[in-house]
Structure 1
Amino acid sequence: MSKVRFGILSTARIARTTLIPAMERAYNVEVVAIASESGKAEDATKELGIPKHYDSYTALLKDPDIDAVYIPLPNQLHKKWAIEAARYGKHVLCEKPAALTSQDVEEIAAVFVEHNVIFMEAFMYQFHPQHNRVKEIVASGEIGELTLIRSTFSFPHDMNPNDIRLNRELGGGVIYDVGCYCIHTSRMIAGEEPVAVTAAARIHPTHDVDMTAAGVLTFESGVMAAFDCSFEQLFKEKYEVVGTKGSILVKRAYRPDKHGGNGVIEVETETGQREEVIQGDQYKLQVEHFADCVLTNSQPIYSEEETIKNMRVIEQLLEDVRSKHEDSGN
């Protein structure tokens, strides 16, 4: 097998407009089928030039010509269909968040070990080479001892009531949706797990989901990470790494694909300031890494254990948000 043959579970927009095109650019992937339980699969395959369509997810999973599936379903369905895929011997690339709790991810991981297949949560941004460059600069000592990480990811939500991001029961809310990136960044750059977290959020009075949130993670080393995320602000996506001798600003932290794949980092120290432009196709690189792992039967660099750790921090933050919300009498 020289290419991993993918099936797509659902006709979700991110699959049609982003992941499937990335798979077509990848050297080691072939998309062979789409499944939809809403009757849209045939039209999607015609539009995208994909050979097969199925009217049920199970029918696609039974196809022996499919090696792996991509799951862009609503958050609360990730666990169910990831486990089903594993039972049919399919490898899984799953949209974030992988599930709604760390226990759910632990259960997913156990099933994948049992069936000897690979699972990876699709945190695509980490595959852009600009982040390795940031870690190189930090390790070099150029900005001194790491003290603080600041991150932000926001966009103005159109408030479509049918959007699952506004449905708490379906895993909605801004922390699950984009705050998770800030949390991941904080852990990735710090290189350790937080020993304390705190957060606050504005909860929508009707939808009962966090619309704007901010939090602080404290690490054992003394490094602190502050983040904010929102459905109520203009689009912004950046993080800053601050040390005792300087700082690194990552200006297009999570969606450099909106700028032709060009990431921009700005390094500032007492001796001056410089800007580095780093190019990368993060979605393509993510897909190629996952497919390489399938072809070589090796574990992804972003393992289930890392997914579990990230989810534990999300859970702690959401618990803090909810407890404060309840204490306020809302």
Structure 2
Amino acid sequence: MDKVKWGVLSTAKIGLSQVVPALQASEHATVAAIASRGQGAAQAAAVSLGIPKAYGSYEELLADPEIEVVYNPLPNHLHLTWSLKALEAGKHVLCEKPLTLDAGEAAKLAEASSRAGRLVAEAFMVRHHPQWRLVKEIAGSGRIGEVRAVQTVFSYFNSDPSNIRNRADMGGGGLYDIGCYAINTARYLLDGEPERVMGLFDTDPALGVDRLISGIAAFPGHRHLSFTCATQLSPCQHVRVLGTRGRIEVAVPFNAPSGAPTHIAVDDGRDLVGGGREEIEIAPCDQYTLQGDAFSRAVRGEEPLEWGIADAVLNMRVIDAFFRSARSAGWEQP
């Protein structure tokens, strides 16, 4: 198949450092253009990364007839606006998480996607990494018995008031930024939707954004997700999948390195010192490249889109319920 031509909205760090290089290394995608709010920034990024075209406005990129897919890594509060504009311009859209700021906005994007006949997906790159597919396969095989719980920790330290993750007016905060991963991966592993959720939030008094969140989600079949995410704690990532006869541990679940192997462990629980522990190594890969190739193949009709806009709407419903729980101090239904 011919490579799909991608355009990137903005010179956001994640795009320049992660997604663009990954797309350039992919089999089915090529980055044909990048846009910024000024020609200088766009041109500098294009020269640095070897991108053929640079535009000094987002509108110019959307008007380029060669661009087939738009990657949207803009600040969270701009996801809906520019994803809608991209669809109206006839482009497919891969948008960074969270797709929008609530499920109502996500539903508007779903309607626009349907009208335009173009694909929209939320950029949860982790689902494309082989380690997650292996975890799901083992969890579903019966090797650890019946899966009853998923426990997730995801944290980093960032108290910079100018950072978009700490700007309440831009959709900042820990649940939007990293708590969404805990929700998304639990839905993937448990193959279902939570029936009710409860969240405990700590808000930074100066920044006005959630900096520490602990949540519980009850899934059908007496299965639970429990997670803690934080933007002002020491860096940590860990996922445990707990079953009636064993457990799976994912060492680096979300920011898996592209140049080094990743590891999961399966433990049959015979003792507390790892007597029944098997370490499994997964070969190095770039989950952003895999994500770009999968989306490009879907654009060409080579295979269906595994996680489209409908999945993103469901994830946003759960996030909305956690925010409602913060206000009600009780259980909420997505």
1:168 is displaced (CA, Å) by 1.6
Equivalent residues in 2 for 1:49-88 (5 A)?
49-88=50-89
1:276 aligns with 2:285: no
Give the whole-Å Cα distance in 2 for the aligned partners of 1:196 and 1:270: 29
Classify 1:72/1:37 alpha carbon distance in 2 versus 1 (closer, same or farther; 3 Å): same
1:189 is displaced (CA, Å) by 1.1
Give the whole-Å Cα distance in 2 for the aligned partners of 1:233 and 1:270: 30
Give the whole-Å Cα distance in 2 for the aligned partners of 1:311 and 1:152: 20
Matched pairs, number: 323
Give the whole-Å Cα distance in 1 for the aligned partners of 2:306 and 2:10: 26
Contact 2:247–2:269 (CA under 8 A) maintained in structure 1? no
Secondary structure at the counterpart of residue 139 of structure 2: helix
Contact 2:199–2:326 (CA under 8 A) maintained in structure 1? yes
Give the whole-Å Cα distance in 2 for the aligned partners of 1:316 and 1:168: 18
1:88 is displaced (CA, Å) by 0.8
- State the match for 1:294 in structure 2: 299
- State the match for 2:212 in structure 1: 212
1:270 is displaced (CA, Å) by 4.2
Bigger mean CA deviation after superposition, 35-44 or 110-119? 35-44
Contact 1:261–1:281 (CA under 8 A) maintained in structure 2? no
Bigger mean CA deviation after superposition, 267-276 or 281-290? 267-276
Classify 1:57/1:297 alpha carbon distance in 2 versus 1 (closer, same or farther; 3 Å): farther
Give the whole-Å Cα distance in 1 for the aligned partners of 2:93 and 2:10: 14
Equivalent residues in 2 for 1:155-194 (5 A)?
155-157=156-158, 159-194=159-194
Q: Which amino acid aligns with 2:263?
A: V
- State the match for 2:262 in structure 1: 263
- State the match for 1:328 in structure 2: none
1:112 is displaced (CA, Å) by 1.1
1:169 is displaced (CA, Å) by 2.1
Identity %: 37
Contact 2:200–2:213 (CA under 8 A) maintained in structure 1? yes
Bigger mean CA deviation after superposition, 4-13 or 315-324? 315-324
Q: Which runs of 5+ in 2 are unaligned?
A: 271-275
Give the whole-Å Cα distance in 2 for the aligned partners of 1:58 and 1:201: 38
Give the whole-Å Cα distance in 2 for the aligned partners of 1:33 and 1:133: 35
Classify 1:37/1:172 alpha carbon distance in 2 versus 1 (closer, same or farther; 3 Å): same
1:87 is displaced (CA, Å) by 0.8
Bigger mean CA deviation after superposition, 284-293 or 186-195? 186-195
Give the whole-Å Cα distance in 1 for the aligned partners of 2:102 and 2:216: 20
Give the superposed CA RMSD: 1.4
1:322 is displaced (CA, Å) by 3.4
1:45 aligns with 2:40: no
- State the match for 2:105 in structure 1: 104
Secondary structure at the counterpart of residue 296 of structure 1: coil
1:130 aligns with 2:134: no
Contact 2:145–2:245 (CA under 8 A) maintained in structure 1? yes
- State the match for 2:273 in structure 1: none
Contact 2:119–2:308 (CA under 8 A) maintained in structure 1? no
- State the match for 2:203 in structure 1: 203
1:324 is displaced (CA, Å) by 4.1
Q: Please, what TM-score do these two structures have when normalized by structure 1? A: 0.95
- State the match for 1:320 in structure 2: 325
Secondary structure at the counterpart of residue 26 of structure 1: coil
Give the whole-Å Cα distance in 1 for the aligned partners of 2:137 and 2:53: 44
Contact 1:118–1:299 (CA under 8 A) maintained in structure 2? no
1:91 aligns with 2:87: no
Superposed CA offset, 1:110-166 (max 9, x none): 111111111111000110011111111112111111111101111111x22111111
